[in-house]
Structure 1
Amino acid sequence: MKYWNLKRNNQFAFEKVGPIPRSITNTFEKFRKELDPNGESEAIEEFRISRHQTITSVKYILLLFISPVLVNQASKFFVFGPCIDYLWNQEQPKIFLNSSQEERAFAELQRFEEKIHFEVLLNPSEDISYEIIEKRVQLKARELGEYYANESANAVKNILSDIVSIFVFILLMITGQRQIAIVKSFLNEIIYGLSDTAKAFLIILFTDMFVGFHSPHGWEVIIEVILRHLGLPESRDFIFLFISTFPVILDTVFKYWIFRYLNQVSPSAVATYHNMNE
């Protein structure tokens, strides 16, 4: 692609928010182009720029998200996996990495024992000795030990592979400054090109999803999954502290973005948002 295309993309990407709403300036710009005798050639040029911008943005977004995932899985299964499994079997470390794993294992073993006793009470005619029950409990305990040992090993693998993925992601961000500028322009055109109703709908959807009344339950599940993924203790105090602070910060960021940027770019979208949110 020619240099003027890249220059034009960079100009769109770093367009500043002015005192006049962008919708008004776009209307006058469109009217000016319709009266311009060279409007047809400019339209073809803008189409080429838009096509280049779209293709470049889609490719870079896919690269930005697929590459870390592929590196994560490859490093986990082919690099860290064999090493961790070998050391885990050689050293024979503790089965549990944290107290949360112990609590889950003990609770599951207790439920298994209660299930066996319940089955015995339901079928008193069957002659089941205490030794048989104890043997079944021991087998279940061994299964749980193997399961949580594998979970602990996987947690170590996840930490190492996630570090590599984050490094790859940061490297792509640093080396792709030009592509990031094009992606920013591409996303700005998509977001600000939506109708006022669509903008208001998306704002309400995301705010209610992440900072709304029911969002704490979702955040609780997400934090528990992340902590379990990394082999960290599932501290209820930490989870409740995160839920009580992070959504508030996120809500403040949303409101600041609406006040600082969207209110200047598209005041009608803000008015529609307030009307829909009432």
Structure 2
Amino acid sequence: MRPDAVFNNRDLQSTQERLRSNSIENSEKNNKPSSKTEETGVLPRSILSTLNRLKVELDPSAEEEVVKNFRTSQRRTLISVRLVLLLVIVPFLTFQISKNLVIGPLVDRFRNPEQATMFLNYEMEEKALEEMRKSEERLKFQSFLNGGEELSAVEIEKRLQERVAEIAEEFRAESSNAIKNVFADLLSVGAFIWLLLMSKRELAVLKEFFDQIVYGLSDSAKAFIIILFTDVFVGFHSPHGWEVILSSVSRHLGLPENHDFIFLFIATFPVILDTIFKYWIFRYLNRISPSAVATYRNMNE
């Protein structure tokens, strides 16, 4: 499914041309030199703005302009929502379909369960040994609960062998699933990159859509969102969240949990994110909405 077939190219071009013309007109109005009389003004600005609003409302073509702007905004919203859905659904479907229908059968066919490696890393082996010790202790505990009659060593060994066989089968399946995840993830990432490369015009519309939403929020809403994101990703409790995420990714790919790498990542990456947030606030938000920055500082203190 090509994105070019999903999106209407004529609507995209007309939407972008209208957005571009509106931005050019706004920049020309903002950059137009004003005289001293225009700066001071004979009448108050409130009266002038009221007169201008009445002039626009009495204009016969005002209704057509409002409808045209509404249709342009509607097309931009539809294009943005479709692109976001495609960016989420296409990689997810690629992962599930490729894993279950293509990669899974190939791995199961060429990877002999009897001769394949049971443990992909040493942590899996340690977990299996720990599970075996727990099973042995559980058997002894259950034997004490059953009227105090202790099981014989032969009976315990027999049940323990059955449990070890189950543990081995579980870890073989986990290792095989990790191998499938690696190849399926590569295909899903490739589908995501391909979708980005084929949707450059839609990405431009999506950027304008998000800019309109973000910069159209109130100052308190902007400050609330900034504080929420910074506290979640670079706040005091964020290292625990990053540790859980990295551990889950390691298990998903069948990699050992390298604690040195995890600690190094936690010590550097949140700091980099915090620097990026502060630079964005200083460089862009402070210029576009200084009142939002003031609200953010008051809420953060």
2: CA distance, partners of 1:14 / 1:167: 37
1: CA distance, partners of 2:24 / 2:170: 52
The alignment partner of 1:89 has SS state of coil
The answer to whether structure 1 residue 120 and structure 2 residue 143 are counterparts is yes
* Alpha carbons of structure 1 residues 81 and 274: separation in structure 2 relative to 1, 3 Å: same
The answer to whether structure 1 residue 94 and structure 2 residue 114 are counterparts is no
Which residue is 1:153 aligned to?
176
> 1:186 is matched with which residue: 200, 209, 216?
209
Which residue is 1:23 aligned to?
none
Which residue is 1:195 aligned to?
218
> 2:197 is matched with which residue: 163, 174, 190?
174
How many residues are paired up? 268
Higher relative contact order (CA 8 A, sep 6+): 1
The answer to whether structure 1 residue 8 and structure 2 residue 8 are counterparts is no
Provide the alpha-carbon RMSD of the alignment. 2.6
Which residue is 2:80 aligned to?
57
- List gaps (5 residues or longer) in structure 2: 1-9, 31-45
> 2:272 is matched with which residue: 239, 249, 270?
249
The answer to whether structure 1 residue 234 and structure 2 residue 257 are counterparts is yes
The C-alpha deviation readout for 1:94-115, integer Å capped at 9, x for no partner, is 1000111112111122122122
Q: Which amino acid aligns with 1:63?
A: L
Which residue is 1:108 aligned to?
131
Give the C-alpha shift of residue 121 in structure 1. 3.5
* Alpha carbons of structure 1 residues 12 and 67: separation in structure 2 relative to 1, 3 Å: farther
2: CA distance, partners of 1:168 / 1:197: 38
* Alpha carbons of structure 1 residues 210 and 13: separation in structure 2 relative to 1, 3 Å: farther
* Alpha carbons of structure 1 residues 90 and 218: separation in structure 2 relative to 1, 3 Å: closer
TM-score scaled by structure 2? Answer: 0.82
Q: Which amino acid aligns with 2:243?
A: E
Give the C-alpha shift of residue 248 in structure 1. 0.9
* Alpha carbons of structure 1 residues 115 and 45: separation in structure 2 relative to 1, 3 Å: same
Contact 1:13/1:184 (CA < 8 Å) preserved in 2? no
Give the C-alpha shift of residue 122 in structure 1. 3.8
1: CA distance, partners of 2:278 / 2:132: 48
Contact 1:14/1:181 (CA < 8 Å) preserved in 2? no
The alignment partner of 2:120 has SS state of coil
Q: Which has the larger radius of gyration?
A: 2
* Alpha carbons of structure 1 residues 233 and 39: separation in structure 2 relative to 1, 3 Å: same
> 2:104 is matched with which residue: 63, 81, 85?
81
The C-alpha deviation readout for 1:114-171, integer Å capped at 9, x for no partner, is 2222223344632511111111211111111111111111111111011011111000
Give the C-alpha shift of residue 31 in structure 1. 8.0
The alignment partner of 2:256 has SS state of coil
Q: Which amino acid aligns with 1:230?
A: L
* Alpha carbons of structure 1 residues 150 and 40: separation in structure 2 relative to 1, 3 Å: same
* Alpha carbons of structure 1 residues 13 and 127: separation in structure 2 relative to 1, 3 Å: farther
* Alpha carbons of structure 1 residues 192 and 104: separation in structure 2 relative to 1, 3 Å: same
Contact 1:204/1:277 (CA < 8 Å) preserved in 2? yes
Q: Which amino acid aligns with 2:130?
A: A
State percent identity of aligned pairs: 50
Give the C-alpha shift of residue 196 in structure 1. 0.6
Contact 2:144/2:150 (CA < 8 Å) preserved in 1? no
Comparing 168-177 and 127-136, the one that deviates more = 127-136
